[in-house]
Amino acid sequence: MLTNVTRVAEHGNPAALRCRTYGGDEGNGGMGGGVWPGELNPDSRALIDAFVAQGVQPYDRLSVLEARAMVAGSTRLQGPRIELPSVRDLLLPARAGRLPVRVYHPAPGQSLPLVVYFHGGGFVTGSVAVADRPCRLLARAGRCVVASVEYRLAPECPFPGPLDDALDSTRWLAAHADELGADAERLVIAGDSAGGNLAAATVQRIVAVGGPTIAHQMLLYPTLAPSRDSASESLVENGEGYLLTRGSLDWFWDHYLPDPAATRDPRAAPLLAENLAGLPGTTIVVPEFDPLRDEGLAYADRLRAALVDVEVDRVPGALHGFWWMAGALSQAGELTERLGARLRALLE
């Protein structure tokens, strides 16, 4: 639901990260032609006003435990929980021990595509429980098995621990897809915010070592490279006043990457990877009023330059983290339906 900062580093000029004039993407968000409207969605404005009235503090003014409690309480914004015929909690073997995973199957008895999902939360907050309702909705909309991974969190487990968990869980789930009623030949890696970082890094690592084969990746407003010095327009324009602040981004990254040298490691910053050739087709969701917006657009550009098929879903008037707030923001449910349609079109 929250995450980090933006950088293009040696692979691009921060000044080239485009804002309201980004062109070329005919995303399902309806912004083909490349011009952002520059106006918050009314639901988003009402949510910000409510948070201000309640005195909600940015994450960098909270303790880790307070931040986790605040995110855990955000389920009140998610709307009612839908019922699915099969929801199972598993413990998977991983290099650090047993790893919890929740598996959602909308049609037991059928072999459906497998979506391995990593939740957002700035590498510090969030959980399978907090992401439960969005995962249920995605499983139903996409007619797919969704496996939501409870990776370890910073600061108790900084980089590369969460990425290790993401890699271990992906490999196990692909190898045991039949047991889950899923088809490993139709494997999708997905994540939002910090989970989008883990998804992107996982895909890069798995492609580099030759398997399992990944059919597609879905990155929802991902955080892809840390920097306190980013000059991206979206970070400058949206770094205050839109729920996720620049100070909060720095706070999350400081917990995830206590070693400054790791900020240049492409396993932590997938945008900095030298070679993106051979990656699977990609969907990237980019909200207009997200400080990380231009980071997602920069990754889309780099993927296209590597001849990867990319669809950018540009969501006008939307905030970072909006997909988790379907009870308050109508754009969340609309996005779920678009993602579901995309999965069905690609994999059925």
**Closest Cα to residue 224, out of 45, 24, 66, 5?**
5
234 is catalytic: no
At 35 the pLDDT is 67
Residue 4 lies in a domain: no
Res. 321: pLDDT tops 90: yes
User: Residues 114-128: what's their mean pLDDT?
Assistant: 99
Instruction: State mean pLDDT over 326-336.
Output: 98
> Is 80 in contact with 333 (CB distance < 8 Å)?
no
Q: What are the residue ranges of helices labelled H in 55-176?
A: 64-72, 132-142, 161-175
Q: Could you report the per-residue pLDDT of 49-103, keeping only the tens digit for each?
A: 999 999 999 999 999 999 999 999 999 999 999 999 999 999 999 999 999 999 9
pLDDT in tens, 245-297: 999 999 999 999 999 999 999 999 999 999 999 999 999 999 999 999 999 99
Share of the chain above pLDDT 70, in %: 89
pLDDT value at 45 more than 60: yes
pLDDT at 7 over 70: no
Backbone φ and ψ of 145, nearest 5°: -85, 125
The pLDDT-based confidence of 11 (bands split at 50, 70, 90) is very low
| Mean pLDDT (whole number) for 31-38 | 59
The pLDDT score that the predictor gives to residue 14 is 30
In a domain, 231, yes or no: yes
The residue assigned the tokens 């492409």 is 266
Give residue 346's pLDDT band: very low, low, confident or very high (50, 70, 90): very high
Per-residue pLDDT, 8: 30
Q: Phi first, then psi: give them for residue 223, nearest 5 degrees.
A: -100, 125
The verdict on residue 281 lying in a domain is yes
Average pLDDT over residues 202-219: 97
Look at residue 348 in the predicted model and tell me its pLDDT: 87
- The H or E element that residue 238 is part of is helix 233-238
Looking at every residue in the chain, the average pLDDT score rounds to 90
The pLDDT of residue 34: 54
CATH number for position 291: 3.40.50.1820
Rounded average pLDDT over 43-54: 96
pLDDT in the model for residue 48: 97
Query: What's the rounded Cα separation, in Å, for the pair 244 and 235?
Result: 10
Catalytic residue, chosen from 44, 74, 169, 193, is: 193
Task: Determine, yes or no, domain membership for 1.
Answer: no
Given a cut of 50, whether residue 9 has pLDDT beyond it is: no
Is 294 inside any structural domain?
A: yes
**Residue 242 covered by a domain:** yes
pLDDT above 60: residue 10: no
Report the chain's terminal Cα–Cα distance, integer Å: 29
Count of domains observed in the chain: 1
Range of the domain at 317: 9-347
Is residue 143 assigned to a domain? yes
pLDDT digits (tens, 9 = 90+) for 123-178: 999 999 999 999 999 999 999 999 999 999 999 999 999 999 999 999 999 999 99
Residue 90 lies in a domain: yes
Question: Is pLDDT above 50 for 16?
Answer: no
Cα–Cα distance between 290 and 238 in angstroms, integer?
Answer: 6
